[in-house]
Structures are given as structure tokens and as C-alpha cells.
């Protein structure tokens, strides 16, 4: 992640927040709405169950009232008292049909059957019917749901037993049972006491309505509650009455469209409702579809659970509604994500673009370009940063400019100083050489000069005395020549080592030049050298020791003549230095020139390229003299082209004054 660009990171963060936010709100929304829809459906189904119970209770009350009112009728009492059952059988059958009852029997005060509505009886006892025994016991009207065995139903009528008989049909999620058929029936049974003329109990009237395959109750509930509502060709609402776990009256349809009589409830629902007696509100798989259902137990007179009453609504319409809501939610979420992504993209662009420009500008600064400026787009933090950057950049530009100027001047100064330093160093070395050599030379010269003089005098004396002996004379001349050379060297050394200060007098330098050339006239002629003079007449008078400076000029001129050898040119210029602090006397010849190797040595005492001809002291002495005048000698030369020797002599203040005068 650290290697990703800022933009990628921002987009990633934005997207994560958007996606998490949208995901959470969509999930919560879906969950909430889904739960609300299902909750509403469950609440409705609970109410529907109440309606179903009401209808069932009404039916029970109807049966009870039919029996109660019939038991009060005079002809029943009268017939029992008079034991005229023939008439009673016909009347009772009429009443049974009118009251839509399946059973209507009269028992005597001991519970023995007097009359069965379907056919007359052999006065057997019917005391296993708990309702009848309870009425005999308490002399009150009672109604209750009860299970009548197939056997007892047969006693009533074959048709009734046949109606109660139900073949069990297995379905995918229902409880399974090895039983194939059920013969017992569920009945809403009611009984009422029959009293004689004196109010004594003379019998019991018992009426019952078989619920098995009687769809009055379930269809009535469906009509009242669901009003024939349908969804994709199916009834939305369904009602069922269970005997134990078997559908005995229902409007739930099987896949072939027939009523699902004989199918059974799921194990889960059975366990909760029938076994534990707790109502069931929730999803349940009913026959072949998922329903939102409500089940509650049906109990007999003793409170034992003998069946269930059920209402349920198809889950599909609610699921469809839920799905539509989910799709709508997802659609809104998708549009939101898209819109937010566009906003995130453009926002990050607004942030990163100026940053990119700043980055580019920073790189320019690193490369040394301080002139680059970044355009400010908005007055936000980035805009302020850009503004600060631009200001910083212009400050840097100014500082850099100053720094460059300073650097250049420093460089120049360093260069100048190093040149000066080099000069001073060279001069120091030269001065050192001179001083130590001067001291040495003084000693040597002093010691050698006297013996040399006496050798010379004696050699001359001997030479005069040996005039006749020619061959000795030759040798003696050799001694004299060599000794003369020694003497010259020693004189030179003495000159070199002489430390006495110059005797300065105001002099025009051109005069000294002219005098030197006059003295060397014969030399010049001998070497056939053309001398060119460019002497500035307006030069100031300077304070110099004329003899010494003359000696300097002589040495330099002779050197030039020697270097030219023959047919050359020597130019002598006298001028004022550019800074007007010195007089410059420039000697330029087109002679042999000095090699680079030798140029540093020419001021060294005894350095000569002229063998026996030269002593190598000429320039050393000249250097010493010029230094005594606080001047300098510079040399420029190119081998084979020629040499330029420049003598600089300082113009003292007083001398300047003179020149003006
Ligand atoms: N103008 C010049 N052209 C070429 N070489 C020169 C010139 N001036 C001086 N030199 C070189 O410098 C050397 C030293 O000169 P310097 O005058 O000190 O001694 P020298 O002339 O050899 O002997 P001397 O003692 O007679 O003057 C010379 O031998 C020569 O090689
Ligand atoms: Mg010389």
C-alpha cells in the first residue's frame, strides 16, 4: 500500500467508506424491511387465527343452542314420559336435518340410548361419551370437540363412518406414520338435559356435527378473512382443522387441485402444538408450499389436545414484495455508489492534480530551476500550500541569485589571491635562495679574492720574466685566462652578495635605457641586431640607483643579444603600468627563447646555458637589484620564438609629484 500513489490511496479509502456505508445501510434496510414485512404477515396471521377460533366457537355455540333448545321442547319430554318413541324418531330426524347436525340422539336418565336419529336403538348404553356422562352428572348444557371412534360412528350410521374414514396421504415434509387409514372422527358434540313434568331428569339429548370432510367452517373462515384473495392462481389464505396431526377439513390444495385431506402436519409443528400445547406462529411448509402460519391446539372436554386449528398465508407474495424491496434498495445503492464514485474520483483529482503540479515544480527546484511557478486553483489548504511554495521558490530564486554573484566574486577573489600567493611564494623562495647564497658567496668571495689576486699578480710577473721561454708563456697565459675567469666569477659573487643599500637619485628611466644602449653599442653592432625603442617621454621621474639599474638593463640586453646571436630584433619599451603605480621597461627579442623546463631556473645563481661563456649570475644580480628597488622582473618566453623580460619599478609619491611639476 505504501508504494501506491496518493490518488490510489484516496480512491481506495473513499471507495471503502462508500462501499462499507452502502453495504451496511443496504443490509440493515433489507433486514429491517424484510423483518417488517414478515412481522406484519405474522401479526395478520395471528389475527386470522383469532377469527378462525371465533368462527369455530360460533359453530360450537350453534350446535349447543340447537341441542339445548330441542331438549326443552315439550313433545320430546312428553314422548319420553309416554314412551312413544315412534313419533319421536321422525321428529328428531327432521330436527337433525334442519339444524344441519350429523348426530342427534336421546338417552334415558341412565345414559342408555332411547333413539338414534338415523334409526331406533336397542337401548344400549352410551356412557363412554364423556359429554353425556357429564350432563347426566351435572344436568347442564355442554358443548365440546371430541373424537368418536370409527366403531361408534358406525353405530350412528355407515354414511357417517364412511365420511370420517380418511386415507392418509404422504407429503414431502409431513410426519410419516405407518398408518394408512384413520377411521375415527372429530365431532363438535353438545348435550343437554331433558327434564320431566316435575323437573326431574328423564334423559339427555346429544347432538353432534362431524368435522371430517365438512368444509363449512374452514371455507367460512377463508371467505371472511381472505375474501377469495389469490396469487398466481393459488388461494392466498388457507384454513385447516386437524384431528391429531391429520388434515380432516381444509382448503389447502394438493398439487392436483384437490383438498389436501389426509395429509399431515410437519413434525416440528406437531411437537410444539400437539405435544407441548404451545401455539405456532411462523413459517411452515404446508403440503407443498411455504406459508406464514398460525396453529393452535384444539382440546376436548378434559382439556386433552385432540387436534389443531390452522390459518396460513402463502409466503410467496410476501417474499416477492421483499425481493422487490431488496432490488429497489440495491438499485438505489448501486446508483449511490456510482454517484459517490464519480464525486470521489473528481474530488481526488482536485486534490492530487495540484499536488502533482507541486511535485513537478519541486523536481524543477531540485534541478536548479527556481523560475517555475504553480497556478493556484482554489483557496483551500492546497491552494495555500501552493502559494507558500511559490513564495518560497521566489525567495529561493533571489537567494540563489545572490549566492551565485557571491560565489563568482569569491571565486574571482580566490583566483586573484592564489595568483598573488603564488607570486609571493615564488618571490619568497627566490629571496630565500638569494639570501643564503648571498651569504655563502660573500664568504667564498672574500676568502678567494685575495689569493686569486696574488696568483694573478705573480702569474703576470712570471710571464714578464719568462718572455724568452715561449712554451712556458703559453701555459702561463692559460693560467692567467682561467684565473681571470675565476676573478670575474668572484667579482660577480661579490656584486651579488653586496648588501649595501642603493643610492637612489631622481632619474628619468629613458635616460638609463639610452645610456645602457650607448655602452653596448659595439655589442649591438657585432650581433647585427636592430634595436627598436618605444620610450614614453612623459614618464615620471623615479628614485633609483642609476648604476645598479644600468647594470640590470645591461645584463638583460646582453642576454637578448646572446639569444639572438645574429640578425635579430630587440624592442625596448618604457611605459606606465595600467594601475599607474609602476614604470614598465619591456625588453622583447626574437631570439632562441627559453624552454619551459628552464624558465623557472633563470633567476637561480650559476644557472646558465652558455657554458664557459656565462657565469649564470647576470639575472640573479639583476633580480637582487630590482628587489632592492621594491620592483619586480617578469619573464615570458617561447622556445624558438623569443623572450620578453619586463622590469617593473615603483613610482614613489614624491616622484609622481615631480613628474607633474
Ligand atoms: N633574452 C634571453 N633569451 C634566451 N635565453 C636567455 C635570455 N636571458 C637569459 N637567458 C637564459 O638565462 C640564462 C641565465 O642568464 P644570466 O644572465 O643569469 O647568465 P648568463 O647570461 O648565462 O651569464 P652571465 O653571467 O654572463 O650573464 C642564460 O644562460 C640563458 O640561458
Ligand atoms: Mg647574462
pLDDT in tens, 303-338: 999 999 999 999 888 888 888 888 888 888 888 888
**The total number of residues written for the chain in this structure:** 661
CA of 587 from ligand 2 middle (Å) equals 14
Q: Which helix (H) or strand (E) covers residue 592, if one does? A: none
The more confident residue out of 434 and 55 is: 55
Q: Which atom of ligand 1 is nearest to the CA of 593?
A: 4
Residue 396 domain flag: no
Whether residue 120 has pLDDT greater than 60? no
pLDDT at 438: 66
* Shortest-distance Cα residue to atom 10 of ligand 1: 559
- CA-nearest of 289, 278, 280 to 313 is 289
DSSP summary character for residue 501: P
Is there a single domain that holds both residue 271 and residue 414? no
Pocket of ligand 1 (CB under 6 A): 555, 559-560, 563, 589, 591-592, 594, 602, 607-610, 614-620, 643
Which pLDDT band, with edges at 50, 70 and 90, does 655 fall under? Answer: very low
Is there a single domain that holds both residue 521 and residue 483? no
Instruction: Please choose from 523, 610, 645 the residue to mutate so as to test ligand 1's pocket, defined by most ligand atoms within 8 A of CB.
Output: 610
| 439-494: pLDDT as tens digits | 667 667 666 776 777 777 777 777 777 766 666 777 777 777 777 777 777 777 77
Q: Which ligand is nearest to the CA of 620?
A: 1
* Shortest-distance Cα residue to atom 23 of ligand 1: 614
Mean pLDDT of 227-236: 84
Instruction: Please choose from 612, 616, 634 the residue to mutate so as to test ligand 1's pocket, defined by most ligand atoms within 8 A of CB.
Output: 616
Structural domain of 603: 501-661
What CATH number should be reported for the domain holding residue 495? 1.10.287
Residue 392 domain flag: no
Residue 373 domain flag: no
pTM of the complete model beyond 0.75:
no
Mean pLDDT of 231-248: 91
Greatest alpha-carbon pair distance for the chain in Å reads: 227
Residue at a domain's end among 499, 534, 558:
499
Would you put residue 313 in left (φ > 0), alpha (ψ -120 to 50) or beta? beta
| 195-225: pLDDT as tens digits | 999 989 999 999 999 999 999 999 999 998 8
Torsion angle defined by CA atoms of residues 582, 585, 586 and 587, in that order, rounded to the nearest 10 degrees? -160
CA of 568 from ligand 2 middle (Å) equals 17
Is there a single domain that holds both residue 418 and residue 337? no
CA of 464 from ligand 1 middle (Å) equals 36
Query: How many other CB atoms are there within 10 angstroms of residue 494's CB atom?
Result: 16
Is there a single domain that holds both residue 514 and residue 469? no
Is there a single domain that holds both residue 478 and residue 531? no
* Shortest-distance Cα residue to atom 1 of ligand 1: 560
CA of 574 from ligand 1 middle (Å) equals 22
* Shortest-distance Cα residue to atom 27 of ligand 1: 618
Q: Which atom of ligand 1 is nearest to the CA of 603?
A: 18
Q: Which helix (H) or strand (E) covers residue 580, if one does? A: none
Count of structural domains, the chain: 3
Given the DSSP bridges, would you call strands 280-286 and 289-299 parallel, antiparallel or unpaired? Answer: antiparallel
What CATH number should be reported for the domain holding residue 147? 3.30.450.220
- CA-nearest of 146, 513, 420, 437 to 307 is 146
Is there a single domain that holds both residue 489 and residue 571? no
Amino acid at each position: 500500500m505504501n508504494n501506491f500513489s496518493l490518488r490510489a490511496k484516496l480512491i481506495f479509502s473513499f471507495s471503502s467508506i462508500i462501499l462499507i456505508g452502502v453495504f451496511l445501510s443496504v443490509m440493515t434496510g433489507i433486514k429491517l424491511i424484510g423483518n417488517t414485512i414478515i412481522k406484519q404477515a405474522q401479526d395478520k396471521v395471528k389475527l386470522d387465527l383469532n377469527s378462525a377460533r371465533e368462527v369455530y366457537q360460533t359453530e360450537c355455540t350453534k350446535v349447543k343452542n340447537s341441542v339445548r333448545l330441542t331438549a326443552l321442547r315439550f313433545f320430546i319430554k312428553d314422548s319420553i314420559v309416554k314412551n312413544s318413541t315412534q313419533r319421536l324418531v321422525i321428529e328428531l330426524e327432521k330436527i337433525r336435518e334442519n339444524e344441519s347436525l350429523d348426530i342427534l340422539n336421546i338417552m334415558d336418565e341412565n345414559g342408555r340410548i332411547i333413539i338414534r336419529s338415523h334409526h331406533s336403538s336397542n337401548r344400549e348404553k352410551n356412557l363412554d361419551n364423556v359429554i353425556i356422562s357429564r350432563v347426566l352428572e351435572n344436568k347442564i348444557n355442554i358443548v365440546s370437540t371430541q373424537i368418536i371412534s370409527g366403531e361408534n360412528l358406525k353405530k350412528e350410521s355407515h354414511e357417517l363412518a364412511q365420511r370420517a374414514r380418511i386415507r392418509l396421504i404422504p407429503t414431502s415434509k409431513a410426519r410419516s406414520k405407518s398408518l394408512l387409514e384413520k377411521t375415527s372422527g372429530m365431532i363438535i358434540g353438545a348435550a343437554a338435559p331433558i327434564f320431566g313434568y316435575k323437573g326431574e331428569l328423564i334423559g339427555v339429548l346429544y347432538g353432534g356435527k362431524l368435522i371430517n370432510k365438512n368444509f363449512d367452517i374452514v371455507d367460512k373462515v377463508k371467505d371472511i378473512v381472505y375474501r377469495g384473495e389469490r396469487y398466481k392462481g393459488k388461494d392466498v389464505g388457507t384454513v385447516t382443522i386437524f384431528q391429531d396431526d391429520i388434515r380432516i377439513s381444509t382448503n389447502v390444495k394438493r398439487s392436483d387441485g384437490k383438498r389436501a385431506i389426509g395429509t399431515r402436519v410437519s413434525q416440528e409443528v406437531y411437537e410444539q402444538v400437539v405435544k407441548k400445547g404451545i401455539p405456532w406462529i411462523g413459517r411452515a411448509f404446508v403440503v407443498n408450499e411455504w406459508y406464514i402460519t398460525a396453529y393452535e391446539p384444539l382440546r376436548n372436554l378434559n382439556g386433552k389436545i385432540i387436534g389443531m386449528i390452522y390459518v396460513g398465508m402463502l409466503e410467496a407474495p410476501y417474499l416477492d414484495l421483499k425481493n422487490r424491496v431488496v432490488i429497489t434498495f440495491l438499485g438505489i445503492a448501486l446508483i449511490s455508489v456510482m454517484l459517490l464514485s464519480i464525486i470521489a474520483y473528481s474530488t481526488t483529482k482536485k486534490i492530487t492534480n495540484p499536488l502533482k503540479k507541486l511535485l513537478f515544480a519541486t523536481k524543477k527546484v531540485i534541478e536548479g530551476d527556481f523560475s517555475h511557478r504553480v497556478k493556484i486553483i482554489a483557496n483551500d489548504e492546497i491552494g495555500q500550500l501552493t502559494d507558500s511554495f511559490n513564495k518560497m521558490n521566489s525567495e529561493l530564486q533571489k537567494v540563489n541569485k545572490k549566492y551565485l554573484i557571491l560565489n563568482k566574486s569569491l571565486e574571482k577573489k580566490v583566483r586573484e589571491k592564489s595568483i598573488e600567493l603564488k607570486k609571493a611564494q615564488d618571490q619568497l623562495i627566490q629571496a630565500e635562495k638569494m639570501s643564503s647564497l648571498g651569504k655563502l658567496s660573500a664568504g667564498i668571495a672574500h676568502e678567494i679574492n685575495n689569493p686569486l689576486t696574488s696568483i694573478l699578480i705573480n702569474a703576470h710577473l712570471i710571464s714578464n720574466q719568462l718572455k724568452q721561454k715561449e712554451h712556458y708563456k703559453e701555459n702561463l697565459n692559460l693560467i692567467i685566462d682561467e684565473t681571470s675567469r675565476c676573478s670575474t666569477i668572484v667579482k660577480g659573487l661579490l656584486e651579488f652578495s653586496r648588501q649595501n643599500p642603493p643610492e637612489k637619485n631622481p632619474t628619468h628611466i629613458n635616460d638609463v635605457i639610452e645610456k645602457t644602449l650607448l655602452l653596448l653599442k659595439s655589442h649591438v653592432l657585432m650581433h647585427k641586431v636592430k634595436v627598436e625603442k618605444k620610450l614614453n617621454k612623459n614618464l615620471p621621474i623615479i628614485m633609483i640607483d642609476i648604476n645598479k639599474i644600468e647594470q640590470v638593463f645591461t645584463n638583460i640586453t646582453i642576454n637578448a643579444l646572446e639569444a639572438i646571436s645574429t640578425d635579430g630584433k630587440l624592442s625596448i619599451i618604457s611605459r606606465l603600468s595600467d594601475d599607474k603605480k609602476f614604470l614598465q621597461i619591456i625588453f622583447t627579442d626574437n631570439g632562441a627563447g627559453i624552454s619551459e623546463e628552464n624558465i623557472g631556473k633563470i633567476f637561480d645563481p650559476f644557472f646558465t646555458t652558455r657554458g664557459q661563456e656565462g657565469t649564470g649570475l647576470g639575472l640573479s644580480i639583476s633580480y637582487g637589484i630590482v628587489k632592492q628597488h621594491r620592483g619586480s622582473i617578469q619573464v615570458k618566453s617561447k622556445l624558438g620564438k623569443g623572450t620578453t623580460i619586463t622590469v617593473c619599478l615603483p613610482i614613489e609619491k614624491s616622484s609622481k609629484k615631480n613628474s607633474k611639476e
